[in-house]
A and B are shown apart, each in its own frame.
Chain A
Amino acid sequence: DTEVTQTPKHLVMGMTNKKSLKCEQHMGHRAMYWYKQKAKKPPELMFVYSYEKLSINESVPSRFSPECPNSSLLNLHLHALQPEDSALYLCASSPPTVVGQPQHFGDGTRLSIL
Protein backbone atom coordinates (compact mmCIF):
# COMPACT_ATOMS: atom_id res chain seq x y z
CA ASP A 1 0.00 0.00 0.00
CA THR A 2 1.28 3.42 -0.94
CA GLU A 3 1.19 6.21 1.66
CA VAL A 4 0.74 8.83 -1.04
CA THR A 5 -2.69 8.63 -2.63
CA GLN A 6 -3.38 9.98 -6.09
CA THR A 7 -6.79 10.39 -7.71
CA PRO A 8 -8.05 9.65 -10.23
CA LYS A 9 -5.97 6.68 -11.38
CA HIS A 10 -6.95 7.27 -15.00
CA LEU A 11 -8.20 10.40 -16.74
CA VAL A 12 -9.23 10.98 -20.34
CA MET A 13 -9.94 14.55 -21.36
CA GLY A 14 -10.33 16.69 -24.43
CA MET A 15 -8.05 19.58 -25.25
CA THR A 16 -10.65 22.15 -24.19
CA ASN A 17 -11.52 20.55 -20.86
CA LYS A 18 -10.49 21.65 -17.38
CA LYS A 19 -9.66 18.94 -14.87
CA SER A 20 -7.62 18.51 -11.71
CA LEU A 21 -5.33 15.82 -10.34
CA LYS A 22 -5.25 15.30 -6.61
CA CYS A 23 -2.51 14.03 -4.29
CA GLU A 24 -2.81 13.43 -0.55
CA GLN A 25 -0.40 12.30 2.17
CA HIS A 26 -0.73 12.07 5.94
CA MET A 27 2.88 11.42 6.90
CA GLY A 28 3.50 14.99 8.05
CA HIS A 29 5.78 15.66 5.10
CA ARG A 30 6.20 19.34 4.24
CA ALA A 31 7.66 18.96 0.73
CA MET A 32 5.51 17.74 -2.15
CA TYR A 33 6.35 17.18 -5.79
CA TRP A 34 4.80 16.69 -9.21
CA TYR A 35 6.57 14.64 -11.88
CA LYS A 36 5.65 13.83 -15.48
CA GLN A 37 6.63 10.46 -16.95
CA LYS A 38 6.36 9.59 -20.62
CA ALA A 39 6.43 5.95 -21.73
CA LYS A 40 9.84 4.26 -21.33
CA LYS A 41 11.37 7.48 -19.93
CA PRO A 42 12.37 8.50 -16.40
CA PRO A 43 10.11 10.81 -14.40
CA GLU A 44 10.79 14.51 -14.98
CA LEU A 45 10.44 17.00 -12.14
CA MET A 46 7.74 19.62 -12.74
CA PHE A 47 7.04 21.43 -9.45
CA VAL A 48 8.22 21.39 -5.85
CA TYR A 49 6.30 22.80 -2.88
CA SER A 50 8.02 23.38 0.43
CA TYR A 51 5.86 24.34 3.42
CA GLU A 52 2.95 24.95 1.05
CA LYS A 53 4.90 27.46 -1.04
CA LEU A 54 6.04 26.85 -4.60
CA SER A 55 9.83 26.61 -4.51
CA ILE A 56 10.67 25.06 -7.89
CA ASN A 57 8.94 25.36 -11.27
CA GLU A 58 10.90 23.57 -13.97
CA SER A 59 9.70 25.88 -16.77
CA VAL A 60 6.40 24.03 -17.02
CA PRO A 61 3.82 25.50 -19.46
CA SER A 62 1.10 27.59 -17.83
CA ARG A 63 -1.59 25.12 -18.88
CA PHE A 64 -0.39 23.18 -15.80
CA SER A 65 -1.23 25.04 -12.59
CA PRO A 66 -0.20 23.56 -9.24
CA GLU A 67 -1.83 24.32 -5.93
CA CYS A 68 -1.00 23.31 -2.35
CA PRO A 69 -4.00 24.27 -0.20
CA ASN A 70 -2.63 22.65 2.97
CA SER A 71 0.24 20.50 4.19
CA SER A 72 -1.46 17.23 3.21
CA LEU A 73 -2.88 18.07 -0.19
CA LEU A 74 -1.41 18.88 -3.59
CA ASN A 75 -3.43 19.57 -6.72
CA LEU A 76 -2.49 19.94 -10.36
CA HIS A 77 -5.02 21.91 -12.39
CA LEU A 78 -5.11 21.17 -16.09
CA HIS A 79 -6.49 23.40 -18.85
CA ALA A 80 -6.18 23.39 -22.62
CA LEU A 81 -3.75 20.49 -22.68
CA GLN A 82 -2.12 19.17 -25.82
CA PRO A 83 -1.88 15.53 -26.99
CA GLU A 84 1.82 15.50 -26.05
CA ASP A 85 0.79 16.06 -22.43
CA SER A 86 -0.50 12.50 -22.29
CA ALA A 87 1.65 10.81 -19.65
CA LEU A 88 1.77 9.32 -16.16
CA TYR A 89 1.72 12.10 -13.56
CA LEU A 90 3.39 11.16 -10.30
CA CYS A 91 3.14 12.86 -6.93
CA ALA A 92 5.71 12.46 -4.17
CA SER A 93 6.36 13.80 -0.69
CA SER A 94 9.33 14.04 1.66
CA PRO A 95 10.30 15.64 4.96
CA PRO A 96 12.16 18.76 3.73
CA THR A 97 14.11 19.51 6.85
CA VAL A 98 15.42 16.02 7.53
CA VAL A 99 18.59 15.77 5.50
CA GLY A 100 18.80 12.77 3.26
CA GLN A 101 15.33 11.35 3.79
CA PRO A 102 13.83 9.80 0.64
CA GLN A 103 10.71 10.70 -1.27
CA HIS A 104 7.56 8.60 -1.11
CA PHE A 105 5.68 8.23 -4.39
CA GLY A 106 2.07 7.62 -5.28
CA ASP A 107 1.10 5.27 -8.10
CA GLY A 108 0.26 8.13 -10.41
CA THR A 109 -2.56 9.33 -12.62
CA ARG A 110 -2.45 8.12 -16.20
CA LEU A 111 -3.64 11.02 -18.34
CA SER A 112 -4.78 10.73 -21.94
CA ILE A 113 -5.53 13.82 -24.04
CA LEU A 114 -7.85 13.29 -26.97
Chain B
Amino acid sequence: DAKTTQPTSMDCAEGRAANLPCNHSTISGNEYVYWYRQIHSQGPQYIIHGLKNNETNEMASLIITEDRKSSTLILPHATLRDTAVYYCIVRYTGNQFYFGTGTSLTVIP
Protein backbone atom coordinates (compact mmCIF):
# COMPACT_ATOMS: atom_id res chain seq x y z
CA ASP B 1 0.00 0.00 0.00
CA ALA B 2 1.18 3.48 -0.77
CA LYS B 3 1.64 5.33 2.48
CA THR B 4 2.53 8.89 3.32
CA THR B 5 3.96 9.30 6.81
CA GLN B 6 4.44 12.34 9.02
CA PRO B 7 5.52 12.93 12.63
CA THR B 8 2.54 12.74 14.97
CA SER B 9 3.21 16.07 16.66
CA MET B 10 5.61 19.02 16.77
CA ASP B 11 6.05 22.20 18.80
CA CYS B 12 7.37 25.51 17.49
CA ALA B 13 8.08 28.78 19.25
CA GLU B 14 6.08 31.76 18.06
CA GLY B 15 8.02 33.78 15.48
CA ARG B 16 10.34 30.93 14.61
CA ALA B 17 10.25 28.82 11.45
CA ALA B 18 8.23 25.60 11.60
CA ASN B 19 9.62 22.77 9.46
CA LEU B 20 7.18 19.91 8.91
CA PRO B 21 8.55 16.80 7.16
CA CYS B 22 6.68 14.22 5.07
CA ASN B 23 7.82 10.88 3.72
CA HIS B 24 6.20 9.74 0.45
CA SER B 25 8.65 7.09 -0.70
CA THR B 26 6.22 5.43 -3.13
CA ILE B 27 5.64 8.58 -5.18
CA SER B 28 6.40 8.31 -8.86
CA GLY B 29 5.90 9.89 -12.25
CA ASN B 30 3.83 13.04 -12.34
CA GLU B 31 2.31 12.72 -8.90
CA TYR B 32 1.99 16.02 -7.07
CA VAL B 33 2.51 16.67 -3.37
CA TYR B 34 0.00 18.93 -1.62
CA TRP B 35 -0.06 20.39 1.87
CA TYR B 36 -3.24 21.26 3.74
CA ARG B 37 -4.00 22.17 7.31
CA GLN B 38 -7.08 21.54 9.38
CA ILE B 39 -8.27 23.44 12.38
CA HIS B 40 -10.69 21.62 14.64
CA SER B 41 -14.15 21.15 13.15
CA GLN B 42 -13.29 22.84 9.85
CA GLY B 43 -12.50 21.44 6.43
CA PRO B 44 -8.89 21.13 5.28
CA GLN B 45 -7.40 24.40 4.00
CA TYR B 46 -5.03 24.39 1.03
CA ILE B 47 -1.50 25.70 1.68
CA ILE B 48 0.81 24.84 -1.22
CA HIS B 49 1.66 22.14 -3.74
CA GLY B 50 4.56 21.08 -5.95
CA LEU B 51 5.87 18.46 -8.35
CA LYS B 52 9.66 18.59 -8.55
CA ASN B 53 10.82 22.11 -7.87
CA ASN B 54 10.70 24.00 -4.61
CA GLU B 55 7.72 26.31 -4.30
CA THR B 56 6.90 29.41 -2.27
CA ASN B 57 3.74 31.41 -1.77
CA GLU B 58 2.46 33.93 0.74
CA MET B 59 1.76 31.23 3.32
CA ALA B 60 4.67 28.83 3.14
CA SER B 61 7.53 27.22 1.25
CA LEU B 62 7.70 23.65 0.02
CA ILE B 63 11.01 21.85 -0.34
CA ILE B 64 10.96 18.57 -2.31
CA THR B 65 14.02 16.32 -2.31
CA GLU B 66 15.65 15.51 -5.61
CA ASP B 67 14.45 11.88 -5.51
CA ARG B 68 10.95 13.21 -4.60
CA LYS B 69 10.59 10.68 -1.80
CA SER B 70 10.18 13.31 0.89
CA SER B 71 9.23 16.94 1.30
CA THR B 72 9.23 19.64 3.96
CA LEU B 73 6.69 22.37 4.54
CA ILE B 74 8.18 25.54 6.00
CA LEU B 75 6.13 28.17 7.79
CA PRO B 76 8.71 30.97 7.99
CA HIS B 77 7.39 32.88 11.03
CA ALA B 78 4.91 30.75 12.95
CA THR B 79 2.05 32.48 14.77
CA LEU B 80 -0.43 31.14 17.31
CA ARG B 81 -3.01 30.94 14.50
CA ASP B 82 -0.81 28.37 12.73
CA THR B 83 -1.63 25.81 15.44
CA ALA B 84 -3.41 23.07 13.47
CA VAL B 85 -3.06 19.57 12.04
CA TYR B 86 -0.96 19.63 8.86
CA TYR B 87 -1.49 17.00 6.18
CA CYS B 88 0.78 16.00 3.34
CA ILE B 89 -1.23 14.58 0.41
CA VAL B 90 -0.09 12.75 -2.69
CA ARG B 91 -2.25 12.82 -5.80
CA TYR B 92 -1.98 9.43 -7.49
CA THR B 93 -3.23 8.46 -10.94
CA GLY B 94 -6.32 10.38 -11.93
CA ASN B 95 -8.09 12.11 -9.10
CA GLN B 96 -6.93 9.94 -6.22
CA PHE B 97 -5.84 12.22 -3.38
CA TYR B 98 -4.61 10.32 -0.31
CA PHE B 99 -3.91 12.03 2.98
CA GLY B 100 -0.81 11.39 5.04
CA THR B 101 -0.97 10.56 8.71
CA GLY B 102 -0.87 14.24 9.74
CA THR B 103 1.25 16.34 12.13
CA SER B 104 -0.34 18.25 14.99
CA LEU B 105 1.62 21.50 15.20
CA THR B 106 1.45 23.54 18.39
CA VAL B 107 2.86 27.07 18.28
CA ILE B 108 4.00 28.09 21.73
CA PRO B 109 3.96 31.75 22.87
* Residues of chain A whose beta carbon lies under 8 Å from any beta carbon of chain B: 2, 4, 31, 33, 42-45, 48, 50, 55-56, 88, 90, 92, 94, 96, 99-100, 102-108, 110
Q: Cβ of B91: which chain A residues have Cβ within 8 Å of it?
A: 100
Distance, CA A90 to CA B41, complexed state (A): 11
Q: Cβ of A100: which chain B residues have Cβ within 8 Å of it?
A: 32, 49, 51, 91
A-B contact pairs, 21 of them (CB 8 A): A2-B43, A4-B43, A31-B95, A42-B87, A45-B96, A45-B97, A45-B98, A48-B95, A48-B96, A50-B95, A56-B94, A56-B95, A56-B96, A92-B97, A100-B32, A100-B51, A100-B91, A103-B46, A104-B46, A106-B43, A107-B43
**Contact residue range for chain B?**
20 to 34
Asked if A103 and B96 sit within 8 Å, CB to CB, the answer is no
Beyond A45-B98, A100-B32, A105-B36, list 19 extra A-B contacts (CB 8 Å): A4-B43, A42-B100, A43-B44, A43-B99, A45-B96, A45-B97, A48-B95, A55-B95, A56-B94, A94-B95, A100-B51, A102-B34, A102-B46, A103-B46, A106-B43, A107-B41, A107-B42, A108-B41, A108-B42
Q: Cβ of A106: which chain B residues have Cβ within 8 Å of it?
A: 43
